[in-house]
Structure 1
């Protein structure tokens, strides 16, 4: 057999094995029951609860579950709201809506407005169909009712939402990494996410939307985890915006579940089997820009931010930038290669576009910086007080911690940008109030055991405990406007919750076995990390024992170290800083995920061997 023919066969075999790992193995064990009426087995200690048990399903008029995962999202501006849902059948889907005042009982009127799907197709799990549609020409300060579905599959029950009033005092909620599935069922991420989201909605006063900063799920391909993330009622009654995290990127499921507005085809995009795309929207006269920080093309991100601000910045009273990988965290990801790359690229872009606030997640510790300049340094004389007056070109950065609490990271003291950190190992959220004169960001923790959907709104609100409060104003803007709360900062420094034995998740080639390969911070193309530019050069990893229940394997060889990040079980994180503490997680590795991990690793070995053979042939 000639060398040329051998190389061709070797490459074909490699591609086949990789495809098996990316598509076949990550399917949940009960995926064959989706939409088929076949009962799924009950949860076990190593299997997270399904959305059937953690929240209401999308019930159709016929009482079936042909329509699931309906989710309300922000539109391009306050006059539009996007929706997405999964269906048993393909084609023919639409959204119906009308002012709630026109409802007859709980039925939409016959002349309700309708809009057909703008995008639909087979889901990433090859089991359901995704559907996107948009409600338009919405009036401000109006309550609307809507439902989604099709004549073939039926329609969801009517849900309601209220549009905001542009130009007034408004607010939105921000959440760090829900990462449903990271706990492997113990703790129950789905219940914790429900508790935190419900508590936040009860604490706030009519928020316009909520913002999830990435890693919505632990395993990018897992329909079950998406079902649990979307199970809480507020996902259908309060619009949301999402950021793509490193645990979301390596599947089309993220793009299919979230119908984002103004997505760029040229900036921060994904590949044939990955999600991505920078996007923007306006809400309450605030300009929100979101970039896919998994993409390493910093020039493309900078061009996108420059263009959006140039076109829309003059109409905005504030500008907020969101992305997943925090560049100013005070936890173990701060020194990762991809984070360093972002930390070099983002501050000059933020300064020249006068970005007011940057929000990120990824590192599972809350941190607020000093006001930062365009060189990435704290401004001279900066302090960590509640009142922060910014000059043009100065930016405040917030890192949000986990909103579910199944994984936390160790605090890294002494970093020059640290204004205030809170590391109590408690889920948290941030409430941002907006006026013409100020942005006020108040952060609350939600201890386990308090609040929750079944315990009522009053108890849910009581479960929120304030841990930080900061008010951002502009130099020369005068005193803060009316309606600003004078809530005291009840926690000066937070307390050390002792996150011993946690595990620094690698941002190089974190191959998510349940997702077919998560590229943690690289511009991920089909099914994998871009090795050379993905921050895969690991400095070694600390393989310390996992905390709590479940087990965690941490490996970190130099070079192309990769880890199998099990969607429902053990997580292997590569490329951690040598000697660093490692983040907590738990769970056991399920059989389908194990098969996927083996297939991905074998495929990677075969690809590498094929490349060596090609190199030898050329030599």
Structure 2
């Protein structure tokens, strides 16, 4: 263990390195998962009925998995806007959504958008429809209808929040289908891709409904990526269909008809256009030099908070810096700056936090500091962890271009497993990633702290859990692996950011509350 001392204006920083680069085996497989067959008595709400237990869910799965035309809502460019995305079998000149203040849709206003070829599923061409609606006011109730294949669908309710005092739900890696290969306790055979999607989609419904029941104040959802498990490849019809089963399971949750979701591109989402087809993100960063097939990073505001979503499967940090600067230039006066990304550059899970998860750490840490980012929300490692307030050490560090690729292909963490077999590379990789200092170690409520706060989320569905790294890193303030799905609620006002994380089944907090105050 090494020790470094670095002086600052106000405090001396002691950095004890505890980066445990373990023997570079392949840890992607895990026996830890959430078996839906063990909870047949559990009641959940789905798009098919108000109360559906496990057996009923299994009976309805054929209808769920093939319902590719479910709508997704996304936050708009600001709180007065809302984005819609959905598949249709029919092509139209323009996609259409209408908005009303009344459930019978009287005096509805129609908003038009685009309808373009999306993908081919089982020989059928589906079109991707995208519409932006505007003019939403705080603390109001609206109804919307989507035009699908020439017909207006039943009206759905949408309630706006208070942009000056709001909460959002943060979920980690739903990864519908990741329980593939597991054997259920009910005596069923080992799960194939479709049955794994059925299992994980059921648990996804449970998580969302539990969270909204326990915290009805939630205004929207944020996900760091890996909505689905099957990375697929263009032209592989069988895998594309499995991927769309997983998207159908993910979008099956009835709460998503009323809850906007700000998703990110995970490594499992990144290989096909499926992500971009389903989700209509605001301000997409189309200038990205090394995008993935799934699309781009983007940004939006909600009240006094600026959210910048990084496509971290792209290893070109210059792209991310350009996006951050563009977002800040468009909204220079927002008080809170929050980055969301898939890979956890400061996490504590065994599988990725010491390998591909930190490949961008040396490059992004100084960028976040220079642009006064307050919080970075991460996923990828299927464990819960939060850091102390961290800053760059101000030194130049290696970028590891020798093991990077132009846009992560979806499974390239195996390149790191292979590269870390080389002792010289492993030693360099470990030493260069000691590129941070601990700016503030206080807990509870911090007032005007220095540094950036990083948080990694565990699986929200239990489709796949990983072990924690054996030795807790020095930058980690708290971590947890209970082998149970969790979710976080983040509350933001003009002067306070507060994080709390909960067990889905019990609703109990799994960690103490952490708050940052800007006075």
Instruction: With the length of structure 1 as denominator, give the TM-score of the two structures.
Output: 0.60
* Distance (whole Å) between structure 1 residues aligned to residue 339 and residue 215 of structure 2: 22
* Distance (whole Å) between structure 2 residues aligned to residue 238 and residue 55 of structure 1: 22
**Which residue matches 1:230?**
251
Pick from 245, 260, 266 the counterpart of residue 281 of structure 2.
260
Residues 313-349 of structure 1: CA distance to partner in whole angstroms, max 9, x if unpaired?
Answer: 31x1211100000111111244555433311111111
Contact 1:56 1:233 in 2 (8 A): no
Residues 419-441 of structure 1: CA distance to partner in whole angstroms, max 9, x if unpaired?
Answer: 10011111110000111221111
* Distance (whole Å) between structure 1 residues aligned to residue 304 and residue 382 of structure 2: 30
Label 1:51 to 1:69 Cα distance change in 2 as closer, same or farther (>3 A).
farther
Which of the two has greater strand per residue? Answer: 2
* Distance (whole Å) between structure 1 residues aligned to residue 438 and residue 174 of structure 2: 32
* Distance (whole Å) between structure 2 residues aligned to residue 148 and residue 219 of structure 1: 28
Residues 400-455 of structure 1: CA distance to partner in whole angstroms, max 9, x if unpaired?
Answer: 010111211111123121110011111110000111221111000113xxxxxxxx
Once structures 1 and 2 are overlaid, which stretch shifts more, 226-235 or 125-134? 125-134
- Residue 166 (str. 1) matches residue 167 (str. 2): no
- Residue 86 (str. 1) matches residue 87 (str. 2): yes
**Which residue matches 2:461?**
404
**Which residue matches 2:475?**
417
Q: How big is the shift at 1:381?
A: 5.6
| Equivalence map 1:138-217=2 (5 Å) | 138-150=136-148, 152-167=149-164, 169-184=165-180, 185=195, 188-217=199-228
Label 1:51 to 1:246 Cα distance change in 2 as closer, same or farther (>3 A).
farther
**Which residue matches 1:395?**
452
**Which residue matches 1:465?**
508
* Distance (whole Å) between structure 2 residues aligned to residue 55 and residue 382 of structure 1: 51
Contact 1:368 1:399 in 2 (8 A): yes
Contact 2:95 2:115 in 1 (8 A): no
- Residue 123 (str. 1) matches residue 91 (str. 2): no
Contact 2:103 2:155 in 1 (8 A): no
| Equivalence map 1:189-588=2 (5 Å) | 189-220=200-231, 221=240, 222-267=243-288, 270=291, 274-314=293-333, 316-334=334-352, 337-375=355-393, 376-380=435-439, 382-383=441-442, 385-392=443-450, 394-412=451-469, 413-447=471-505, 463-474=506-517, 477=519
* Distance (whole Å) between structure 1 residues aligned to residue 341 and residue 59 of structure 2: 27
Partner secondary structure for residue 213 of structure 1: coil
* Distance (whole Å) between structure 1 residues aligned to residue 60 and residue 78 of structure 2: 33
* Distance (whole Å) between structure 1 residues aligned to residue 62 and residue 204 of structure 2: 10
Q: How big is the shift at 1:377?
A: 2.9
Partner secondary structure for residue 434 of structure 1: strand
Residues 159-186 of structure 1: CA distance to partner in whole angstroms, max 9, x if unpaired?
Answer: 111122222x211110000000111335
Q: How big is the shift at 1:474?
A: 3.9
Instruction: With the length of structure 2 as denominator, give the TM-score of the two structures.
Output: 0.71
Contact 2:390 2:440 in 1 (8 A): no
Label 1:51 to 1:182 Cα distance change in 2 as closer, same or farther (>3 A).
farther
Q: How big is the shift at 1:138?
A: 1.7
Contact 1:95 1:135 in 2 (8 A): no
Contact 2:343 2:380 in 1 (8 A): yes
Q: How big is the shift at 1:97?
A: 3.0
- Residue 114 (str. 1) matches residue 132 (str. 2): no
* Distance (whole Å) between structure 1 residues aligned to residue 255 and residue 456 of structure 2: 23
Contact 2:95 2:114 in 1 (8 A): no
Bigger radius of gyration: 1
Partner secondary structure for residue 331 of structure 2: helix
Contact 1:351 1:395 in 2 (8 A): yes
Label 1:86 to 1:380 Cα distance change in 2 as closer, same or farther (>3 A).
closer
**Which residue matches 1:513?**
none
* Distance (whole Å) between structure 2 residues aligned to residue 189 and residue 89 of structure 1: 30
> How many correspondences in the alignment?
394
What root-mean-square deviation, in Å, do the aligned CA atoms of Structure 1 and Structure 2 show?
A: 2.4
Once structures 1 and 2 are overlaid, which stretch shifts more, 298-307 or 328-337? 328-337
* Distance (whole Å) between structure 1 residues aligned to residue 289 and residue 454 of structure 2: 21
Q: How big is the shift at 1:149?
A: 1.7
Label 1:250 to 1:50 Cα distance change in 2 as closer, same or farther (>3 A).
farther
Label 1:381 to 1:372 Cα distance change in 2 as closer, same or farther (>3 A).
closer
Unaligned residue ranges in structure 1 (runs of 5+): 1-48, 59-64, 448-462, 478-619
Label 1:388 to 1:160 Cα distance change in 2 as closer, same or farther (>3 A).
same
* Distance (whole Å) between structure 2 residues aligned to residue 465 and residue 54 of structure 1: 34
Label 1:177 to 1:131 Cα distance change in 2 as closer, same or farther (>3 A).
same
Q: How big is the shift at 1:98?
A: 3.1
Partner secondary structure for residue 85 of structure 1: strand
* Distance (whole Å) between structure 1 residues aligned to residue 305 and residue 332 of structure 2: 9
Label 1:325 to 1:311 Cα distance change in 2 as closer, same or farther (>3 A).
same
* Distance (whole Å) between structure 2 residues aligned to residue 69 and residue 368 of structure 1: 34
Label 1:340 to 1:57 Cα distance change in 2 as closer, same or farther (>3 A).
closer
